[in-house]
Structures are given as structure tokens and as C-alpha cells.
Structure 1
């Protein structure tokens, strides 16, 4: 892996593979994106670097890194979308306060504060494991019949 100088900032390119995004969307969401241009969906994505282009001495090409969406969950309800929008806004305000932008925000809000109430209504890991056990038991009971 080439080392970059502190002044170098690589350009980030998104890999064309979007299977993780597609798999997390409902049929209705996919149809809506196609049928109604301008439709917006909100998602939490995980990006993984897959390849890079280093920069050789004497070459004018900037450093680039290609990232791929390797994990994704798309908001399926208005409540989920509102929570993701609020988290995004809070993170944006944080970037402003950190000096990424010229403007100064009103003050940081913890993104997790708005999500805590929503997360309380969502299944936990224990709930998921219990569901999977029940489902497996139902399959076994059905097989015995």
C-alpha cells in the first residue's frame, strides 16, 4: 500500500456493485425509484475499500480509492427514514463544528439520542435469535407431521 503525504487526499470512487443495496430494499421501493424519478430512500451503508490507484512520482494523476457497499439497510417506514434524516443532520452539524465547513452550527446533537427511542421499538439480537429458534422448531414440527 502506498503511503500518502499528509497533504494528499485521495479521490473516492464508488464501485458499481450495488447488490447489498438492492437486497435490502423492498419490491415497492425499487419500483418507486424506477417509476417516480426523484424518489429518495434513506439507508445506512457500510463501505469497504476494494482497490486503489497510487500515484507515481512525476505523474499528475491523483490518488484514488474505490469503495464498495458491503452492507446496507434501507429505511422501510417513515419513522425509520425520519430517524436516519435526523442522524444525518446531527452528523452534518458535527462536521461543521469540527471545521470541515466554513459555517458554524448551533451545537452538536448526539445522533444516538434521537435513535434511542426508535431502537427501543426494534427487535434486539436476542429477539432475532428467539425468532430463528421458533422458526426452526416450526419447521421440525411440520416435518414430523
Structure 2
């Protein structure tokens, strides 16, 4: 049920990351030495991480956590020189939202798997007939959710 929220949050952090990269790139040829130098350092940082918004979401989110941590600490002066703090703050918030939503979905998926295991075990021990209506109900609910895009 969290798929739409995760997709929205993912699109948000992808857009912010892309905007950040474009902003840094825009400063590279600026005839202001300290700004061009800061952009060069941040461009290398971007290349070092090689984050691709099309990569597996958990991997991307983890890389962005470390990337953002670097921006807040190791490269804070470069970020400040280029006035990119708003990008870093927004990217951090969006990435945290993705991380939280994916963790929540993993927990709910695990709870569902446990429920299925218990029901299947009881059905095996006590016979299917006692659990068929419940199984049909749950299957219908899951099917309805997948039909509406959740």
C-alpha cells in the first residue's frame, strides 16, 4: 500500500539530486575562482559516488545518505561557497522519507508473510475448510489493492 508514496518520494529525491548536479555543473566555468574551485571539488564528489537514479532503490538511498553526510561535513565549505545548502537540506529530507517508507513497507511485508505462514500452518493442521473464507477474504483484499495500483 505504500508503493505510490515510495514512488513519489523517490521521484522527489531523484529530482533534487539531478537539480543539485546541474547546479554544481553550472558553477564549473564561472570566472570566479573560489566558486569554480568549489564546483570542481563537488563535481569530483558526484563522480566518485556515481549515483544513478535508476539503480536499486535501497542502494541509491544508502549511497545518498553517505553522499549527503559528506556534503554536510567534508564538503560543507564548498556547499556554502556555492549557496547549495537548500539543495542539501531538501535532498536529505527527501532521502530520509524514502528510507522511512521503504523500511515501513519491509516491515508490513514481513508481517504479511508471517500471517500467511501461520494461516497455512493452521490450515494444514486443522484442515483447509476452517480457513478458506479467511484466505479468500485476504486474497480478495490483496487483489483489490493491486488492481488500483497500490
User: Could you state the TM-score of these two structures normalised by the residue count of structure 2?
Assistant: 0.33
More strand by share: 1
- What is the TM-score normalised by the length of structure 1? 0.34
RCO higher in structure (CA 8 A, sep ≥6) = 2
